[in-house]
Amino acid sequence: MCRLISRFCLHSAVGMISTGSKAIDSLLGGGVRAGMVTDIYGESGSGKSQLCFTLCANCVRAGGRAAFIDTAGTFRPERIVEISGSQNTLEKITFVRALTTLDQAEAIRKVLDVDPQLIVVDTLTSLFSAEYSGPARHLVVMKHLHELALLAINAGCAVVVTNMVRAAPITVVDQAGRNVAQAFVPSQQREYLGSSVSIYSHTKLKLEIVDAAKSVFRALLVQPPGKSPAQFTITPQGTSDIVI
C-alpha cells in the first residue's frame, strides 16, 4: 500500500509536464498530460526532438523519471544536459535505441521497470515504414499505439510520440475528370499514416517552421481543434517563448 501511495503522489506531482513554452502549454491546457498519448508531428527541423528533450528535462526537474525510445538516432544527451543545466539529469532518463519494430515494442515493456512519468517515442512510424507496407503497416501502427494508450492510462504516465509528414497530392476533379488542383497547389504536407495515428492519440500537435534562420516556429493544436496557433523558439535552454 505504501508503495502504491508514493507512486500515486509522484505521478500526481508530474501529472502535467511543461514544454518550456507557456504558449504551447496553454494550447495543451497546461502542458503534456499524464494518462494521455500526445502526438507531435511536423517536417524535419520543426523542433519535434528539441521539444521532447525539453519535456524530459522538465520531467526530471519536477522529480520524475523519463524514458526515451529512439528509433531514428535522434537522441542527444548533451542537449538534455544543456537544457537542464545538470549532468545528473541523465541518471533519471532511461534511453533505449530501437533498431527494429520488435525492439520498439519490447522497449515499452522494459522501461516500465523504472516507473517513468514520461515515455517518449521519437519517431513513432519510421521503423514500421521500413518493415511493413500496405494495410499491414496501418494495422501494426494502430496496435502499437493502442498499447501505448493503455500504458498511459494504466501506468498514469505521459506518452509522447513524434511523427513525420509526407507530401500528398491534392485532388480536385472537374467535370471532365481532370485533377485541376495540380495547376495551383501540387501537393500538401500530411502526417504520415495520420488516419491510423489519430485513432489512439488523445492530443495532436503540429509543428511548423516559420523562420529557421531566426529560430521561429509555430505549434498548432490539431486534436482537439479550436485554439489559435502559438509561436515558439528554440534556445540553448530548450523550447521557449519568443521574447519581443
Task: Output the tens digit of pLDDT for each of the chain's 244 residues.
Answer: 333 333 333 444 457 999 999 999 999 999 999 999 999 999 999 999 999 999 999 999 999 999 999 999 999 999 999 999 999 999 999 999 999 999 999 998 899 899 999 999 999 999 999 999 999 999 999 999 999 999 999 999 999 999 999 876 555 555 665 555 555 555 567 998 888 999 999 999 999 999 999 999 999 999 998 789 999 999 999 999 998 7
User: For residue 101, is it within any domain?
Assistant: yes
pLDDT at 186: 52
In a domain, 152, yes or no: yes
SS (H, E, C) 157-195: CEEEEEECEEEEECCCECCCCCEHHHHCCCEEEEECCHH
What is the 3-state secondary structure of 29-72? Answer: CCCEECCCEEEEEECCCCCHHHHHHHHHHHHHHCCCCEEEEECC
Q: Rounded to whole angstroms, how far apart are CA atoms 81 and 113? A: 23
pTM of the model: 0.87
Residue 3 inside a domain? The answer is no
On whether residue 10 sits in a domain, the answer given is no
Q: Which three cell numbers stand for residue 202?
A: 488523445
Is 74 within a domain?
Answer: yes
Do the domain assignments include residue 7?
Answer: no
Does 5 fall in a domain?
Answer: no
CATH code assigned at 126:
3.40.50.300
Does a structural domain hold residue 4?
Answer: no
Quick one: pLDDT at residue 37?
97
What pLDDT is recorded for position 173?
Answer: 54
> Residues near 158 by Cβ (< 8 Å), separated by ≥ 6?
17, 32, 33, 34, 35, 36, 38, 59, 117, 118, 119, 152
For 218, the domain range is 15-240
Please report the pLDDT score of residue 195 as a whole number.
Answer: 87
Total domains, the chain = 1
Give CA torsion, residues 128, 131, 134, 135, to 10 deg: -60
